[in-house]
Structure 1
Amino acid sequence: MFEKVKDVPLPQGTVSPWPSNLAVCWLDTRNITYVAVIQSNNIHVGNWDNKAETEVSWDTIVTSEPSTPNEKVIDVTTVGLVHPNARNFPVVIVGSARFINVYDVKKISQKPLFSITLASALNDPKTAVGGDVAPYCRGISCNDNAILVGTHTGEIVVIMCNGDSNFTTRKNLKEHRSAIADIATCRYDEVTVSADSNGELIIWQKPVKGVNSRVLTKQPINVINVLRKQVIVGTLRGLVQYYSVLTGDLMCEVNAHARPVNSVSVAPESAYVLTASEDGTFVVSKLHTRKPHAYQVPRFQKVEYRFSDADEYSMIMGAQFTNGRGSAIATAAFDNNCLTMYKIVKKSNAAPSTSAS
């Protein structure tokens, strides 16, 4: 089904070992796909034309260097590519142990469009720094014009996009009681879900102001995504679970991987689901939501396996569909100096011609 088509070298360095370390945003109206990946304290942002199949063009965001010789470099811990409705192009969201920065994906500059320190973004100074957990950001999403960034305290920082270069903060969301693991939004249904390290899912009311429902998964959640009113959960044990947004019920679970699931990507047009893991495997499945009685026992009838590939010598930190159809995939593996690209290649069924005697 899928075949590897090429490796795309990074401008410098190798992929850092952060979960979900590959962000993707595609613009169907412009045939452009953007990608972003963390390399130490740098963020490499690439783009290409899907229709013309151009080569990837790279820019690099270099986060601030230490101000004193003895000061340590603070690694970036999360990166996101989101497209607020108030803008024509996406923005790059960079979160670290000290700050949250917003960059223009169209005009990459070392000066962010908006920046806020993590200590000032978190209202409680006791949890802003120190304590049992070191400060960090993790989980990035966007609903309408509200950009959401998860933190180690369980607070979700809300940054409002009011125009191309106008960003302001809004009151933090404080419903989680432990560190945020991931945040995801389905743009079509405007459903936003957040997950924390205790295994709790919060399904937010539109437009992300109050809690609609809570789901206690009792699983060590690492990553999540949302597709057609299903919350897809990737766990540290390699298990992939599907929960209903409407009822909170567990609808399906698959023992897909042998090690932590580091990425869950969805293709809205085809209802494909892509999961990838530290075990070097990525799996493509088809989610059936319109079949009658699809959730009856056995549960696996709901999710249909389509394709998988594995490299036992790699640890996949991020894997994403690079278009809405789910016909192309990019993967990023720890300590690798390139992105690996896959696409659906149609096989020719034409019989070989034979010469007449």
Structure 2
Amino acid sequence: MFHKEKSIQLKNSASALYNNLSVLRIAPRRLTYFTVVHANVVNMAAFCALPSRDLLVVSSQKGIQMYESDGSIMVYWHALDTPEAPTAHAVFARGISAVSDNYICVGVSSGAVLVFDIPSKGSNITLSEVLEEHKEAITDIASECSGSQECLANLVTADDGGNMCVWKSGEEFQLLNKIPGLDITCSSVKLWKGTVLAGYGTGQIRLYEAVTGILHAEVNAHARWIYSLDIAPFSGLLLSAAEDSFVRVWHLAITPETNSVEIAHLHNECVTDTQICGAKFCDGDGYAFAVTGYDLSEIIRYVQL
């Protein structure tokens, strides 16, 4: 179904961080930007595509920086609160997502989710709200249906305990549902057509109805810790990547009669002797995807046959 294309060489290798790959496709210019985190100074870097602008958001132990999408100009800096006395817990930001028309959400180690209001241009970015439902460090954040009235739930946040919160964005974010964890880290999460797609440290993928929390499906997808999930929204293709060196492609389909979601396995790729830490589709149809691995100095690309 997919074949390997020429790799993109990196100056440095990728760190063993969850979701350590972000992709931004600029269709009019036929360009694709990739970002990968190296070493331990930066916790995460992600492209955030809003209707009016694209930003590169970088989080570190000291703060959150927002740049123009090519990284040329920093437009905003937000310092993280650090305790006066040393503690056993590190302070970091992890989990980044654009949501609705003008918000970017960033999760932090305290369990809080910072909501930034983004203007259509300029640097007048403000911290508009802090969501404090989680009690453990945020691992990932995902959104969908920007501005759609049909999509009630358009943001999901996950933490180290496997707990997830489902939100409706707006001038004040509304908590719609809390999906309890099983004390197993939910390392990667996506939202697709009202369904929460969650990857866990057990190697399992679970599909939940976002608003009710009903479990649609549970799959023993990998032999080891899942590091990354991604969804191609137009085709329903789901990508999963794990420490077991495998990247797997699945297909999701909604059954109209029961309004349930079914998952079917389509394809495997093995990156031999590599702890995979990032995997992303390069387009909304799932025509191509890219993969990063711990201590790997390249981005490996696969394209449909």
Normalising by structure 1, what TM-score? 0.78
More strand by share: 2
Indicate conservation of the 8 Å contact 2:166/2:211, yes or no: no
Tell me the alpha carbon deviations over residues 88-114 of structure 1, each in whole angstroms, 9 at most, x when there is no partner: xx11100011110001114x32x5211
Residue in 2 that maps onto 1:197: 160
Letter of the structure 1 residue corresponding to residue 75 of structure 2: L
Q: Report deviation, 1:334.
A: 0.9
Matched, 1:175 2:139: no
Correspondence list, 1:53-202, <5 A: 75-87=41-53, 90-106=54-70, 108-109=71-72, 112-119=74-81, 126=83, 130-143=86-99, 144-166=101-123, 167-187=125-145, 189=151, 191-202=154-165
Tell me the alpha carbon deviations over residues 167-202 of structure 1, each in whole angstroms, 9 at most, x when there is no partner: 122231111111111110013546100011122111
Equivalent-residue separation in structure 1 for 2:250 and 2:274 (angstroms): 21
Residue in 2 that maps onto 1:283: 248
Equivalent-residue separation in structure 2 for 1:129 and 1:274 (angstroms): 42
Equivalent-residue separation in structure 1 for 2:33 and 2:12 (angstroms): 19
Equivalent-residue separation in structure 2 for 1:280 and 1:323 (angstroms): 23
Indicate conservation of the 8 Å contact 1:155/1:180, yes or no: yes
Letter of the structure 2 residue corresponding to residue 162 of structure 1: P
Residue in 2 that maps onto 1:39: 38
Unaligned runs of 5+ in 2: none
Indicate conservation of the 8 Å contact 1:14/1:39, yes or no: yes
Higher mean displacement: 183-192 or 268-277: 183-192
Residue in 2 that maps onto 1:350: none
Equivalent-residue separation in structure 2 for 1:344 and 1:31 (angstroms): 18
Q: Give the number of aligned pairs.
A: 296
Identity %: 27
Unaligned runs of 5+ in 1: 41-73, 120-124, 296-300, 346-357
Matched position secondary structure for 1:85: coil
Equivalent-residue separation in structure 1 for 2:292 and 2:274 (angstroms): 9
Correspondence list, 1:293-308, <5 A: 293=258, 295=260, 302-308=262-268
Root-mean-square deviation (CA, aligned residues, Å) is 1.9
Equivalent-residue separation in structure 2 for 1:294 and 1:312 (angstroms): 39
Letter of the structure 2 residue corresponding to residue 165 of structure 1: G
Correspondence list, 1:260-339, <5 A: 260-293=225-258, 295=260, 302-339=262-299
Matched, 1:2 2:40: no
Equivalent-residue separation in structure 2 for 1:332 and 1:187 (angstroms): 27
Letter of the structure 2 residue corresponding to residue 139 of structure 1: G
Higher mean displacement: 21-30 or 332-341: 21-30
Equivalent-residue separation in structure 2 for 1:145 and 1:223 (angstroms): 23
Indicate conservation of the 8 Å contact 2:255/2:262, yes or no: no
Larger Cα-atom Rg: 1
Q: Report deviation, 1:281.
A: 0.4
Normalising by structure 2, what TM-score? 0.91
Q: Report deviation, 1:25.
A: 2.6
CA change 1:335–1:303 in 2 (3 A) is same
Indicate conservation of the 8 Å contact 1:138/1:180, yes or no: yes
Residue in 2 that maps onto 1:217: 181
Letter of the structure 2 residue corresponding to residue 34 of structure 1: Y
Indicate conservation of the 8 Å contact 1:288/1:294, yes or no: no
Equivalent-residue separation in structure 1 for 2:36 and 2:145 (angstroms): 22
Equivalent-residue separation in structure 2 for 1:165 and 1:238 (angstroms): 42
